[in-house]
Amino acid sequence: MSVTTAVEQTENNAPLQILAPDGTVVRPDLMPKLSDDELRELMRKMVFTRVWDQRAISLNRQGRLGFYAPVAGQEASMIGSEAALSKEDFILPSYRDIPQMVWHGFPMHKAFLYSRGHIEGGRIPEGVNVLMPQIIIAAQCTQATGVAMGYKLRGEKRVAINYFGDGATSQGDFYEGMNYAGVYKLPVIFFSQNNGYAISLPFEKQTASENIAVKAVSAGIASERIDGMDILAVYYAVQKAKERGVNGEGATLIEALTYRYGPHTMAGDDPTRYRTGEEQSEWELRDPLIRFRKFLESKGLWSEKDEEAVIEEAKAAVADAIKKADETPKMKVTELIDVMFETLPPALEEQKAEFLAKESK
C-alpha cells in the first residue's frame, strides 16, 4: 500500500525529523527558509507558552481559572504549525489548542475568560480567523471542509487547518471530513497531535492501524508523519501542506507524534493511573524546547539572557491578561438570550424580560 506523502519519504516510515533530540540537524535539505529572527521568534513563542501553561495550571489550582487542558510537551506541534500559516488562514481548534488561537491573534485575556465560561471568551474579534475550541471530538474535521470550500469557491489562496488528537481519528467525522476534502480537493490541513493517549486510552487500543497518517489513504489525500517534538519538522510539513492546498492540490493529513506531560485536563485527571513515569522521562528527553534551544545556541542565536527575558515577558503578559479578565463584568443570562437569534422570537423576549428584572435587582 502506498501513501502519498506531502513531503519527503523517510526511511522505514519513521517520522520525519529535521532536528535530532540533541539539536543537531539531520535533514539539512529540508531546513525551512527562516531568518535568524524568525528562528528566535519560534523559540520565544515556545518558552512563552511553557511559562503561560505553568501559570495557567497554578491559577487553576488556586481556583482562578476554570476548564483548562495543559499543553506542555506539545509546544512544537502547536507553535510550529501556527507559525507556518498566515493570519488569513482559518484555525478550527480543539480544546487544548488555545496557544494556536492566541498566536493567531485571539487575545489572551479572552482565552482566560473562555476557561472561566464567560461569553466574552468566545467573542472572536473581527479579522481573527479562529473558531472557538471544538468540544465534540472531530466535528471540526467536517466544518473545516466548509470553510475551505468557501476559499476555493472564491478563489482565495487560504487554507483551513483543523486540530485534533489521536482519539478523534476513531470518530466518523474524521473520515467524513477527509473524504469530503478528498472528493472536492479542498485546501484543508488535518493536523493530528498524536500524544499517545485519548484521556487514558493508549494509541494501540484506539486503533489497530499502525499509525494515523496511513488513514489518509482511505480518503485519497496526502499525508505525512512527523516528529511533533521537532518544531522545524512541524513547520516544514505544514508549510508544504499549505502550499499544496493553495495550489489546488488538495488536503493533507499530518500526524505529529508528541506527548503531553500533564494531565488530560485540570478537572481531576491523574495520568499515573494509565502511564508510567519511565515513559514520561523518555519523552522529556525529546523535549521540543531543549532540542530547539540547543540548535539555536549552536548557532549563537539564543542565550540564558534571552530565555530569562521571555520568562519575565510571559509572566507579565499572563498577569496582565488575568487582570483584564478579572475586570470583565460577570456574564449575564440576558447576554446569552441576545445571541440566540438575529431577532428574538416572542417567547425569548418574554424570558429576557424575566431575567432583566432579576439582573437589575
Closer to another protein at the Cβ: 106 or 236? 106
Cβ–Cβ contacts within 10 Å for residue 35, how many? 8
Q: Cβ(109)–Cβ(322) under 8 Å?
A: yes
Candidate list 96, 264, 286, 291, residue with the active-site label: 264
Q: Are 78 and 345 in contact (CB under 8 A)?
A: no
- Per rule CB under 8 A, is residue 220 in the interface with another protein? no
DSSP reduced 3-state for 148: helix
Is 324 in a helix, a strand, or coil? Answer: helix
**Residue 264 catalytic?**
yes
User: Interface with another protein includes 297 (CB under 8 A)?
Assistant: no
> Of 96, 116, 225, 260, which residue is the catalytic one?
260
State how far the Cα of 185 lies from the Cα of 62, in Å rounded to an integer: 48
- Segment interacting with another protein (CB under 8 A) among 8-16, 32-40, 200-208, 335-343: 335-343
By CB under 8 A, tell whether 66 contacts another protein.
Answer: no
Residue 123 binding another protein, by CB under 8 A: yes
346 binds another protein (CB under 8 A): yes
Q: Does 341 bind another protein (CB under 8 A)?
A: yes
Q: Burial-class residue 92 by CB neighbours within 10 Å (0-12, 13-18, 19+).
A: buried
Q: Is 274 a catalytic residue?
A: yes
Quote the cell numbers at residue 227: 516528529
Q: How far is the CB of 156 from another protein (least distance, A)?
A: 10
**Contact code string over 172-191 relative to another protein, x by CB under 8 A:** xx--xx-xx--x--------
> Do 31 and 42 form a contact (C-beta atoms < 8 A)?
no
Are 174 and 164 within 8 A, CB to CB?
yes
Residue 228 grid cell: 511533533
- Residue 101 near another protein by CB under 8 A: no
Q: What are the residues binding another protein (CB under 8 A)?
A: 90, 119-120, 122-126, 131-132, 135-136, 139, 141-151, 153-154, 160, 172-173, 176-177, 179-180, 183, 336, 339-342, 345-347
Residues marked active site are found at: 260, 264, 274
